């Protein structure tokens, strides 16, 4: 904004405020033509800024969504003594000393109350109730869950368990071992018989 319109907005950070000699935007000048050009420049600047940062083409849902019923009421907030307090609070927003901020924004300190009342608003938002939902994606079924469910189903329907599987495996191992042992004994007997016949 400083480069395009040659003016600074009070709430916008200026990198080197000591080097900035231009005016703040929307201040009354003797030259009304210059003031009108400056106002139009600021309006165009914000319109382009909003257009550049708009997300009208986004198809993704928002990460956070807020749904609440609203009620509003209005009253004149700034009284004769509160405008000065507001200016002091405004100067403390950037966490700098008030003396430095008064030097930077000195021409905003003496603004009339009617200007502050028309151009600033105090908004207080209260929530009567907050509901937070956490949605976490998990696996439909892990390997351990599948094994557990199968074991439970077998135990319920056919009365078998892990011990049954272990016993079946043990029986198969003994069966294979006994078959191999009997085959070895038979082959040994045949070898001895053939040796005796040769003699």
List, for residues 39-96, the tens digit of each pLDDT value.
Answer: 788 778 777 765 555 555 556 665 666 666 666 665 555 555 555 565 556 555 555 5
Least confident of 100-109, 127-136, 169-178: 100-109
Q: State the pLDDT at residue 175.
A: 92
Q: What is the pLDDT of residues 119-150, one digit of tens each?
A: 666 667 776 667 777 788 777 778 888 888 88
Q: Is 92 domain-assigned?
A: yes
Q: In the listed set 57, 86, 104, which residue is the last one of a domain according to the structure? A: 57
Q: Is 192 domain-assigned?
A: no
Considering only CA atoms, which of 33, 18, 197 is closest in space to residue 100?
A: 18
Confidence of residue 173 (pLDDT cuts 50, 70, 90): very high
Q: Which structural domain, as residue segments, surrounds residue 88?
A: 69-129
Co-location of 51 and 12 in the same domain: yes
Calpha distance 171→13 (Å, rounded): 83
Calpha distance 97→82 (Å, rounded): 21
Co-location of 102 and 76 in the same domain: yes
Q: State the pLDDT at residue 115.
A: 64
Q: Is 13 domain-assigned?
A: yes
The helix/strand/coil state of 118 is: helix
Whole-number Cα distances in Å, 152 to 118, 142, 144, 148, 159: 73, 15, 12, 6, 9
Q: Is 116 domain-assigned?
A: yes
Q: State the pLDDT at residue 170.
A: 92
Whole-number Cα distances in Å, 154 to 102, 149, 167, 169: 81, 9, 15, 17
Considering only CA atoms, which of 116, 125, 127, 112 is closest in space to residue 77?
A: 116
Confidence of residue 9 (pLDDT cuts 50, 70, 90): low
Q: State the pLDDT at residue 49.
A: 65
Co-location of 150 and 105 in the same domain: no
Q: State the pLDDT at residue 11.
A: 56
Q: What is the mean pLDDT of residues 17-31?
A: 61
Please tell me the total count of domains within the chain. 3
Q: Is 166 domain-assigned?
A: yes
Better-scored residue on pLDDT, 173 or 77: 173
Confidence of residue 12 (pLDDT cuts 50, 70, 90): low
Side-chain half-sphere CA neighbours of 64 within 13 A: 3
Co-location of 81 and 115 in the same domain: yes
Q: To 5 degrees, how large is the angle CA 10–CA 13–CA 14? A: 95
Co-location of 112 and 161 in the same domain: no
Q: Is 21 domain-assigned?
A: yes
Co-location of 85 and 125 in the same domain: yes
Q: Is 85 domain-assigned?
A: yes
Q: Is 63 domain-assigned?
A: no
Co-location of 115 and 153 in the same domain: no
């Amino acid at each position: 904004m400083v480069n395009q319109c040659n003016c600074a907005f009070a709430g916008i950070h200026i990198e080197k405020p000591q080097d900035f000699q231009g005016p703040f935007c929307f201040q009354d000048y003797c030259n009304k033509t210059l003031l009108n050009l400056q106002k139009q420049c600021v309006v165009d600047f914000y319109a382009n800024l909003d257009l550049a940062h708009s997300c009208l083409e986004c198809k993704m849902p928002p990460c956070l969504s807020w749904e609440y019923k609203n009620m509003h009421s209005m009253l004149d907030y700034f009284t004769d003594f509160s405008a000065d307090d507001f200016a002091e609070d405004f100067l403390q927003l950037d966490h700098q000393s008030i003396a430095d901020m008064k030097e930077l924004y000195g021409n905003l300190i003496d603004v009339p109350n009617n200007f502050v009342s028309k151009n600033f608003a105090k908004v207080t938002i209260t929530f009567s109730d907050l509901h937070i939902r956490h949605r976490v994606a998990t696996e439909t079924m892990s390997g351990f869950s599948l094994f557990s469910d199968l074991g439970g189903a077998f135990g319920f329907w056919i009365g078998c368990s892990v011990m049954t599987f272990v016993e079946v495996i043990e029986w198969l191992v003994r069966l294979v071992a006994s078959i191999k042992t009997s085959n070895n004994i038979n082959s040994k007997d045949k070898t001895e018989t053939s040796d005796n016949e040769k003699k």
